[in-house]
Structure 1
Amino acid sequence: MTAPRSARLTRLTLTGFRNYAIMGIGLSAGMVAFVGANGAGKTNILEAISFLTAGRGLRRAALTDIARVGGDGTWSVSAKIHLDDIETSLGTGATAGVPGRKVRIDGEDMRSSESLLDYMRVLWLVPSMDGLFTGPGSDRRRFLDRLTLAIDPAHGRRVSDFENALRQRNKLLDQGGSDAYLSALELQVASLGTAVSFARQETVGLLKQMIDGRPIENTTFPQAMLSLEGTFEAETIGMSASDQEDHYRRLLEQGRHRDRAAGRTLTGPHLSDLKVRHAAKDMPAAQSSTGEQKALLIGLVLAHAELTAKVSGMTPVLLLDEVAAHLDPDRRAALFERLDALGGQVFMTGTDASLFDALPVHSEVFEVGNNEARLIQVAGAHKSA
């Protein structure tokens, strides 16, 4: 079997991005840690890397909010990467007064950020995700869609088009649109919604296979049992794609009066939920302890990274924000070992360099402060100031 491809960042430059007027970092390691005080700008570096793939970045921030305070409103992220022994320049950013995010590859303008998926797949785990299992279903759908996008580059556009079609239908219902217009729009909603549901279910199925391939007991990070649940999925079990579309279209047509009164569409895969259970204890993840939930989430992200490498043929770049602080030394060491075995590039943050003492000797540790990142440790030896 051919080994997965692996993109490596060798240079990262931020301009007008968050707290950085301009900052460049040279990189040579597969595992990189950024350490420093809270508010120093560590997470901002991870966020910048997250814009080197499709989507809205790890904070899902408005483009105008990313620009440096006191700057001219324009920001950019550029990087040099090595993939297949070829160096490629990636760039993205926004210009004040100009809508949308621009993307360039080797200096050539791209139509959308989806082009970046040909060069990098980026996954992340951030503290805001700690409440994933206890929070609203919309958070878990967004999480699942991000997982799906990493193995199915068309999924992001598919979800966006589906959500846009739903908004148009809701608006048309509110304005008293004709049955003919509604029927045409509902045909589109049904087609897109069915495709979105199918892609999500495929991702869940593949993840289950990946997770089931490991023993439940004696694992550092507990295994998750996954399912995609919702009225739409329950009603369409065993149906072909075309039958699912027809069923959804009929539901939309029959529910017009009810949806008009509610001001929103009350049936469909936009209401489905990713259900997660602690496999060894056979209990909902939401009922597990805070520590168990964190460990479950880490295990799920690691399994998905393995799945992404297997399905896409490209090992993802991982962004892990403050992931080490809540793990005991043995579990941190086990995490670093798993990350190293994945073979992709990993970027982590923490407030203390000692959190990363168990990193492999070929790793790099940067100290972040005063709007710069300074290399302080490499190949297991501390660098002098």
Structure 2
Amino acid sequence: MRTAGLALAGFLAAAPAWAEFTTGDALVIGNARYGETVTAFGPDAVQAVARALRLRGQEVEQLANGGAVAMQQALDGFVAAIDEGETPLIVVLSGQFASVDGGPVLRPAGRETSKAAGLSLAAVLEVLAQSPRRAFLVLGEAGEATALEALEIPEGVTVIRGPAAKVAEFAAREMAQPALPLEKSADWYGLALSGHASDGLAVLTHTEVRPPSEAEQAAARDRIALLDETAWQRAVESGAFQAYLDSYPQGLHAEAALQMRDGAPAISPAKAEASLALDATARREIQRSLTQLGHRTGGIDGIFGPGTRGAITAWQRQSGTDPTGYLDAAQVARLAKEAAQSPAPSAPRPRRASNAVSAQEAATWNMARGERGLRAYLGQYPNGAFAARARVKLSNMQRGSGQ
């Protein structure tokens, strides 16, 4: 469990007050768009719930209108963030549920029709069972929810169910209130409670509010940008530009997605690059070329996130072309030619991409317990996939010890 003292310089206090601040982990997925149907608990509700939980110290993975791959990535990110013994664990899922051979699933948003491609609730419950009596699954039902009747709840896990609109309001308000008895607050919204439900059970128990630190906010922005870029690449490959806009209405590629969805004649830099249909191999080669020329991309993983876009922009400025952050066919060829003629760079090794973690690094991170373990990890992997998270934890520990 991560615990740290938090110095709170209150408006009415002359000296800082110290309080123990315990954090847990949460996953919030709200699917509101199914074909032409739009239901409750969309992007605004996801953001409201995630913000309420973050203010109470929860580390939150969030996703709105996610496809099958995006939902699995969000679940994987939630699992990777959990430290041994950390509580509470909270998963909020809203949308249409379906029944498959493996049990109920949350259906992906958009026009996908395969029920088997949904997010398995059995897999979610298996994760939550790691924290008995402090694990909560909150389900917002959009439409028929008969599939949830077959839900098998592990011992010690609490399940809260109800209409999506009611769950959205409950999760953003009463659920995030500390020490509020769950039975009473769920009853206010007409929600059903099953599984573990002891007297006085509350989802959150600490009383202090701590806005996310700068490091935590930066890490969250990086994760969102990476998911945004991944979703855009899938949209380009499949032509599902509306699905991208459903998940990222204000996304990095929203303008290009609108143009390509509507077949607009204007060719934006993003659309010109998209027309090249660069596959993962071609994208990795571009990243290698940029790195060879001394521009740090943040990793050679085939994903054009903020690091790669920044490297492209820097190279374009250096080359005297319009710094759009996107490439056309001529620039791809020119970049490859310049890299082939360039000697090996003397710049530091580029930062490892978060989704390209070696087994050795993963093992080192899993063993990083306490301040000594975190410092040992950072000493070995200063730019590793978990470096930002390690620094956040160290910062919390230092604030707690008064350093």
TM-score range, shorter chain: under 0.3
Per the normalisation by structure 1, the TM-score is 0.28
Query: Whose strand proportion is higher, 1 or 2?
Result: 1
